[in-house]
Amino acid sequence: MRIGELSRRTGVNPELLRAWERRYRLLQPRRTDGGTRTYSATDEARVRLMRRYLDDGLPPAQAAEMVTATRLSVRPGQTPGSIPPAEVAEAHVEMHASLDRFDETSAQRALERLFGTYPASTVVRDVMMPYLREVGQRWAEGHVSVAQEHFATNFMHARLLAFARGWDRGLGPRALLACAPGEQHTFGLIGFGVALHQRGWRITYLGADTTVAMVEEAASHVTPDLVVVCAAMRERMTATVDGLRALSERWPTAIAGAGTSLTLAAELSARHLDGDPVTAAENVSLQWA
């Protein structure tokens, strides 16, 4: 888009946009063959995040530093959030070969090549989560052993948690994330947190098997803008309906995961986050933009 359209979308006048670009390198425009400067959806996201930090009272130079440190980049020429299927297939083949022989280093190299090109949340959605589903299917069909399945799962979990370092820093909205009581599947929830943090949110993560009382205690301290409770199995969520309903009366609450539904969310007076974690994070961010 041209700077006038970027200004219209973000509510920031063109003169200030040019100043941010010149002083802080906040924007990364490209030029058309005719020399016109054009701006991307990533530039728009940076401007929105900059405005949020400024509205919270942060000095412009510090706000710009935090925005530019946030991984919001999109590979030129690609649809935001997508990795070509051929690259996904190549990465999966290499990771299968590496992790099946318990070779962590080789599998890490395959991921590093992708992380060097695409946003972390994109790699999580398009490569890591589908790979884990494949591993589970291969184990169910007897193609990998229990030891191989555990090794691959723990490898992925550790790599994903590496992106969670410092995800409570910033001045954006705060999300409090937890798995329902008895729920041990955390991968999707962590992926959601990573994607949400990349959009300027601060994350407080409680992890697996979290009681409603634990969520309420944490919420009383951090005052979240959104509480998200996740469950892969419906019985994990329905076993604590009363507690979740009381939680949603005090804090904006959403439920997510295969064990949830729109009907259950309505029963709890909560929001239902559907789709993959990255898309859910995008939708949440749009609501608060």
Is 167 a domain residue? no
| Strands 37-38 and 30-31, sheet pairing | antiparallel
Clarify whether residues 185 and 148 are in a common domain. no
The domain tally of the chain equals 3
pLDDT digit string, tens, across residues 244-271 = 999 999 999 999 998 899 999 999 999 9
Whether the CA torsion 255, 181, 132, 167 is positive or negative: it is positive
pLDDT for res 246? 93
Is 78 a domain residue? no
pLDDT for res 226? 95
Clarify whether residues 43 and 98 are in a common domain. no
Q: Output 237 or 35, whichever has higher pLDDT.
A: 237
Is 80 a domain residue? no
The residue range of the domain holding 14 is 3-69
Of 133, 162, 191, which residue constitutes the final position of a domain? 162
Range 61-78 average pLDDT: 63
pLDDT for res 115? 75
Clarify whether residues 45 and 89 are in a common domain. no
pLDDT for res 73? 43
pLDDT for res 71? 55
Check which CATH number belongs to the domain holding 41 and give it: 1.10.1660.10
Clarify whether residues 16 and 100 are in a common domain. no
Check which CATH number belongs to the domain holding 276 and give it: 3.40.50.280
Nearest of 25, 6, 22, 26 to residue 14 by alpha carbon: 6
pLDDT for res 285? 83
8 Å CB contact between 66 and 200: no
Clarify whether residues 200 and 130 are in a common domain. no
Give the whole-angstrom CA distance, residue 237 versus residue 178: 12
Clarify whether residues 151 and 251 are in a common domain. no
Measuring CA to CA, how many Å separate 226 from each of 2, 183, 193, 268? 34, 20, 12, 15
Is 75 a domain residue? no
**Which residues 6+ apart lie within 8 Å of 120 measured at CB?**
71, 163, 194, 198
Q: Output 59 or 117, whichever has higher pLDDT.
A: 59
8 Å CB contact between 27 and 21: yes
Highest mean pLDDT among 29-38, 73-82, 202-211 belongs to 202-211
pLDDT digit string, tens, across residues 186-198 = 888 998 998 888 7
Is 9 a domain residue? yes
pLDDT over 70 at 200, yes or no: yes
Is 169 a domain residue? no
pLDDT digit string, tens, across residues 93-152 = 999 899 999 998 888 888 888 876 777 778 888 898 888 888 888 888 888 899 998 899
Range 191-216 average pLDDT: 90
Measuring CA to CA, how many Å separate 236 from each of 144, 204, 223, 232? 28, 21, 25, 8
Tokens of 274: 């559907």
Is 108 a domain residue? yes
Check which CATH number belongs to the domain holding 158 and give it: 1.10.1240.10
